[in-house]
Amino acid sequence: MAHGTAEKSLVLSERWRLAALEREQVIQLGFMAVIIGFVFSLFHLLGNTVADVNSQSAFVWMVSRWNDSISYGGVDWSFGWVIPPICLLAVWFRRRELLSAPKAINQWGLAVIVLALLVHWLGAKMQQTRLSLASLILLLWGLPLYFFGWQMAKMLIFPCAYLIFCIPLTFLDTLSFPLRMFVTHVATAMLNIIGIEAHQSGSAIIGVGGGFSFDVADPCSGLRSLLAMTALTAIYAYFTQKTLLKKWVLFLTCIPLAIAGNIARVITVALVAAALGDKVALGLYHDYSTYILFSVAVVFMIGIGVLLNTDFVRVGRRLKAWLTQRVEHPA
């Protein structure tokens, strides 16, 4: 009978790994499950106080913004759907380091948790659901910091911080107008440089002699592509760059890349309009040019990442050795 009991415990341990857990670990896991349930209930039942969504859930408010059509500023937040899976992928990528990290209670984590709950309360009082969602991100980082310590928490900084891209920061729409004017001004100047006479009238580009005329509207400001490029560059830099400095350098290149790509798009629209007419330029070409130029920006992003990872000293030595060999042993 004792042999049968021992064999049963062994099977349970191998299959479910429950018998391998100590009593303290089981209690800790149970406590964490209760906290996760409390956090979900807090932000689902008391996360939104804004009246424009018929729900008190911060998650429902956020998803409704992801599903919105393009706002008046031209920002599309539909990429919010892919952010949580990417964060989980980033955690999975470092799973071995996370499991092997030394674990200990860190009292600073408790301070972060209290701060996060305070920010959530302020967000509810101010009817700013974005603040509540930001507090949720802070809370998701503060809990591991408290229960498992700094070594684990510092590896979770990026996966948690990346969740910021889930929050619909619709106030960024205010940047749309200055971006429109900047793109219009630079595109008009470039057209004149390459020999296509044009002048700017507000946010419109008008060809001299009536060859073409179109307005750089809010969706063409480049803010949408800038935000998408920012999110893409952040995760690419995290996975490909070895040092924090290189990660930041690559991340910051997304701003000029996105703006330059949008300026190039406006210029090519003007060139197509001058050659084939406004109907073709503002129809078929306008609809598909975004994908083409965004792809070009992505290629440049990858190229910059490769350059940052290149050991130029090693490349120089190889080149020198090859040149020396060619001189000493010409073909």
Higher pLDDT, 239 or 22: 239
pLDDT at 221: 66
Tell whether the torsion through CA atoms of 311, 315, 316 and 318 is positive or negative.
positive
- Average of pLDDT values for 61-68? 80
Give Cα 241 distance to the centre of its chain: 16
Order of strands across the sheet with 204-207? 198-201, 204-207, 213-215
Is the pTM above the cut of 0.85?
no
Farthest CA pair distance, the chain: 100
- For 36, what's the count of Cα atoms within 13 Å in the CB-facing half-sphere? 7
Query: Using one digit for the tens of pLDDT, what is the confidence trace for 103-134?
Result: 888 889 889 999 998 998 888 888 888 888 89
Band of pLDDT at residue 219, cut at 50, 70 and 90: low
Go through the chain and tell me how many residues it has.
331
pLDDT at 40: 79
Band of pLDDT at residue 6, cut at 50, 70 and 90: very low
Residue 232 tokens, joined: 């893409």
Say yes or no to pLDDT of 81 above 60. yes
165: amino acid identity, one letter? F
Q: Please state, in angstroms and rounded to a whole number, the distance separating the CA atoms of residues 321 and 242.
A: 28
Coil, strand or helix: which one is 213?
Answer: strand
Backbone torsions φ then ψ of 45, nearest 5 degrees:
-95, -30
Task: Give DSSP secondary structure letters for 271-329.
Answer: HHHHHH-HHHIIIIIHHHHHHHHHHHHHHHHHHHHHHHH--HHHHHHHHHHHHHHHHHS
What's the mean pLDDT when you consider all of the chain? 80
Band of pLDDT at residue 20, cut at 50, 70 and 90: low
